[in-house]
Structure 1
Amino acid sequence: MIGRLSLDEQLAALKSVLSRNEVLLEVLSRTAKLELPGCYVTAGCLYQTVWNVVTDRPPANGIKDYDVCYFDDSDLSWEAEDAVIRKGKEVFGGLPAEVEMRNEARVHLWYEQKFGVPCAPHESTESAIDCFPATTCCLGVRVEPDGRWRVYAPHGLSDVFNLVVRPNPVLAPREVYEVKSARWQGQWPELIVLDWPPEPGRVRGFSS
């Protein structure tokens, strides 16, 4: 099983598997051209591509959108983020998929209103990825100027390849994890969804 390979072998396998999703490759390529600070393609489109390939489904099956996250704390106004979103609509135009963009430096401004718990300001896109509701979701990929892939996976890749969904109770409410994991398991019934721990610690926020 890929999840039992060494880390460098898992990274090579991840690139190979993700490269089977042609839409994802195009999103990665176009994202690099935006040259946004701290930018990654993140979360669902990545691990769900892996789930599809591991379970012999078409690589883009069931992926509802492609998330692009960046970090720019020089201007926290909605107008600045909206300008990036509008530029993204032009750059990603024509793709057979929805691309959602988010400035992770602004998450703390709206998180509590949406999810009912406060979120401390993120320090980087990586710190935002650290706070996604399942450790399996904590994954980001970008293409560097020299063409190399940069992969951020603070919890490793074994759970992703082994179809394990593991809670990450650093802030995201239990309900968010359970709703998301139930939806995922409905689409990919092979998933092994682990229970939310009885006393979650809440220290930061999450996104996506």
Structure 2
Amino acid sequence: MTLETRLIEIVRADPALMHVLGVMRDLDLPDWRLFSGAVYQGVWNVQTGRPVGYGIKDYDIGYFDPDVSWDAEDVIIKRVAAAFEPPFRDLVEVRNQARVHIWHPAKFGGSYPALTHTDEALPRFVAPCFAVGVRLEEDDEITVAAPFGLEDVFNLIIRPTPDRSVAKDWDRIIEKARARWPELVVQV
């Protein structure tokens, strides 16, 4: 079995993830994907024998709309919030990836060239194990985007993304992750 097949099995076994994916599929945002914590943390839970949903604090959704106005993104944020009942309404965070270059430098420092599609954001995440996204397609297939592969995720390895400066809050990121999954292997 491939790691991608195993990831899809893990996602399908998580009722909360499948709920979020199903609602997002029905909303049909342009070029959307669920990525980061809710995906890789599900793998970490399986790999460490923790229960489904352990440690997952939110569900990050990226989509791509060339309209980079705040008003256009706000309409989508409100539309997504209205599609979910609590507690998901407060846990699903949606952001237009076409706008990231506008706010990223002020929030995180450094330059951030404009993206042309959602999956282009993944190689810019602070760690390869974070750079994983999934989408539930119309035919119920789950597609996976993982530009660095899935080995780090399944081997519990967290390391800085190559060809990117180490995140300014790297130590805090590691501390938070290790507080929940002390089995993580940190490579710098």
Name the TM-score, length of structure 1 as normaliser: 0.85
Aligned-residue sequence identity (percent) comes to 39
Mapping 1:1-208, distance limit 5 Å? 9-73=2-66, 75-96=67-88, 98-171=91-164, 173-195=166-188
Q: Deviations over 1:85-132 (max 9, x none)?
A: 001111122345601001000001111111121211011111111111
Answer yes or no: is the 8 Å Cα contact 2:108–2:168 preserved in 1: no
Name the TM-score, length of structure 2 as normaliser: 0.94
After TM superposition, which residue ranges in structure 1, 4 or more long, deviate above 6 angstroms?
Answer: none
Answer yes or no: is the 8 Å Cα contact 1:42–1:66 preserved in 2: yes
Q: Deviations over 1:156-204 (max 9, x none)?
A: 1111111111211544543233321221011100000111xxxxxxxxx
Q: Provide the C-alpha distance between the structure 1 equivalents of 2:65 and 2:23, rounded to a whole number of angstroms.
A: 19
**Runs of 5+ unmatched residues, structure 1:** 1-7, 196-208
**Runs of 5+ unmatched residues, structure 2:** none
Q: Provide the C-alpha distance between the structure 2 equivalents of 1:191 and 1:13, rounded to a whole number of angstroms.
A: 19
Where 1:68 maps in the other structure, the secondary structure is strand
Q: How many residues align?
A: 187
Quick check: 42-51 or 97-106, which moved more?
97-106
Answer yes or no: is the 8 Å Cα contact 1:131–1:172 preserved in 2: no
